[in-house]
Amino acid sequence: GGNPVNVIAGRRGNAAGDKAPRADSLCGGGGGRAHHRHATKEPALPMSSAIERKSLDPSEEPVDEVLQMPPSLLTCGGCQQNIGDRYFLKAIDQYWHEDCLSCDLCGCRLGEVGRRLYYKLGRKLCRRDYLRLFGQDGLCASCEKRIRAYEMTMRVKDKVYHLECFKCAACQKHFCVGDRYLLINSDIVCEQDIYEWTKINGMI
């Protein structure tokens, strides 16, 4: 949950012809069959924010809004230094150098990789890393219940599971590090039960 937070691409100065950078697409998640597991402790649902264009100079080409504030007040929320650059970003009620507003996991520049970022308990995430850790909707792929902020999770491709739900659908055995398994729809089946599971469910 959480309320939307405005993320703004801004500019300063009045040089003609310069345009603020705009991102056209979001990062996508990876694909392919997964035979490993990954655990992380994070909140399930993010605050997300849309990117808009702003300017400090009313003489520039049309923008969403002109910021009425002295440049001396533009302090970067990342490095805490004054922003003297022509282009800058506003997110989470702070101003940022373009290089400083980056994903806390992969380090990609959030002003370039998409038109939305995710903010959770002080951590800034790109869409790819949010989906990598938590899946699309923050629900467990097994029990379909919400994954709480304090719960450990397991991930396979774009699906996320409670730690206690990450077990073989056939024998109910919990997996250990190094165990191999197969993801069939949202069911996880251990290597020993793959043949029997697919036979029972009419897949062979």
pLDDT tens sequence across 8-17 = 455 544 333 3
For residue 119, give Cα distances in angstroms to 72, 124, 181. 26, 5, 32
User: Is the Cα torsion angle 133, 137, 141, 146 positive or negative in sign?
Assistant: positive
- Span 42-77, pLDDT tens digits: 333 345 665 444 455 545 444 444 555 666 678 888
Q: Tell me the pLDDT tens digit for each residue of 101-158.
A: 888 888 888 877 666 778 876 788 887 787 777 655 678 888 888 887 667 788 888 7
Q: How many domains does the chain have?
A: 2
On whether residue 146 sits in a domain, the answer given is no
Shared domain check, 159 and 109 = no
Query: Residue 95 sits in which domain range?
Result: 7-134
Q: Based on the fold, state whether residues 196 and 125 are members of the same structural domain.
A: no
